Amino acid sequence: MAPVVTNVSPAQGAPAGGTSVTITGSGFTDATLVRFGPNGADFVLVSDTQITAKTPTGTSTVKATVTTPTGTSTQNVLFTYTSVPALSSLRPVSDPTSGENTLSGGLVPTSGPTSGGNTVTINGTNLSGAILVKFGNNSATILTNTPTQITVSAPAGPPSSVSVTVTTAGGTSNPLPYFYIAAPTVNELSTHLGPATGGNTVTVLGANLTLTSAVSFGGNQATTINVVSDSQLTVTAPAGSGTVTVTVTTPGGTSTATTTGNPHYTYLGAPVLTSLTPSNGSDLGGDAIVLGGSNLTFTDAVTFGGLPASFSAISDTQVVATSPGGTPGTVNVVAHTPAGNSNALPYVYAPS
């Protein structure tokens, strides 16, 4: 009786051959030949029901057969030669709607955080049945798999460039580079105070800032981001309120508040003056004037007709200033804070 072939495992392999397969069935004793399609394979007889073989070169889908002195198996047990996967190169593609260029092909994105866990799309050909996706020496978790695209959850890795490869039954693909980016940190701001209306320039100091894509002031996005260096950015603060944490986002992740730095920023209401007590004094100056109003805690300057006066902020509603000398007549008194200038109130210099 001719031998019987019931299964070949694995049922796929590279066109170049060399895939180790196990053939199971019956009547294999005294086997003289194993073929994959028309091509003979090297094989080892394990038992009457099992043979191990190395596939020969081949293409497409072929039948695996075993021949003994009693005949050749006729069962339709198939082996498929699968092409080696190939990963596409990254290229710019113009969006017909917006006209902007985006990146397609290859890996998208091409970089990510050292903690991993971000989704990476891999584009190419012959990607069906992916067995393994590696980022350097680390294996990624395969999320979806089609003949032209794989999505994976990237593994963790140290800051570095690694090669990404895809392995199928057909072999291992060409490598594409992927960059692990250290998470950014924010240690200091050039100012921790600013107007609630925003619009002022703030310098952000920290580390790993080169690839900054966004800067947030408590959830509100800053504009006009300028990367000065890997440790310094300048941004235009957005509008906001209260005290917020400034964070920076890069492909390496989003910064978090640290115990060694001060990434906090406080929004201030514009200063308002409602009274001067008294509202007149000698042109020689030297009079104590109480400025009443609101949002005065952070007063950093008081002027009488443009001339600076010495002062002390007593509370959010009161500043005591010493009038400078001036020309007899009426001048404007203005208080300034990091939120800007207050309204002006008239002060009268009396001739001495």
pLDDT at 169: 86
Which residues are 178's β-sheet partners? 162
Neighbours of 54 (CB within 10 A): 16
- Cα torsion for 321, 322, 325, 328, to the nearest 10°? 60
Q: Which of 293, 315, 331 is nearest to 323 (CA)?
A: 331
What integer is the mean pLDDT of 101-124? 86
Burial-class residue 237 by CB neighbours within 10 Å (0-12, 13-18, 19+).
Answer: buried
Give which of 164, 170, 176 is closest to 126, Cα–Cα.
170
Residue 320 has pLDDT above 70, yes or no: yes
Residue pLDDT, tens place only, 291-308: 999 999 999 999 999 999
**Cross-strand bridge partners of residue 79:** 62
**Stretch among 62-71, 150-159, 165-174, 325-334 having the lowest mean pLDDT:** 165-174
Q: Which residues lie closer than 8 Å to 180 by C-beta, 6 or more apart?
A: 111, 112, 113, 114, 157, 158, 159, 160, 161, 162, 252
103: pLDDT strictly greater than 60:
no
Nearest to 235 by CA among 209, 259, 258, 271: 209
- Residue 93, pLDDT score: 46
Nearest to 148 by CA among 128, 130, 134, 166: 128
Tokens found for residue 342? 């207050």
pLDDT > 70: percent of the chain:
95
**How high is the pLDDT of residue 260?**
75
Pairing of strands 42-47, 4-9: unpaired
Provide the pLDDT for residue 352: 84
d(CA 4, CA 23): 10
pLDDT value at 102 more than 70: no
pLDDT tens digits, 89-98: 865 545 555 5
Of the pLDDT bands very low, low, confident and very high (cuts 50, 70, 90), residue 170 is confident
What pLDDT was estimated at residue 104? 55
Q: Is the pLDDT of residue 115 over 90?
A: yes
Average pLDDT, the chain: 93
Q: Please, what sign has the CA dihedral across residues 23, 26, 28, 29?
A: positive
pLDDT tens for 246-273 read: 999 999 999 987 767 899 999 999 999 9
d(CA 330, CA 183): 57
In the chain, the percentage of residues whose pLDDT exceeds 90 is 89
Res 132 pLDDT > 70: yes
pLDDT band at 164 (very low <50, low <70, confident <90, very high): very high
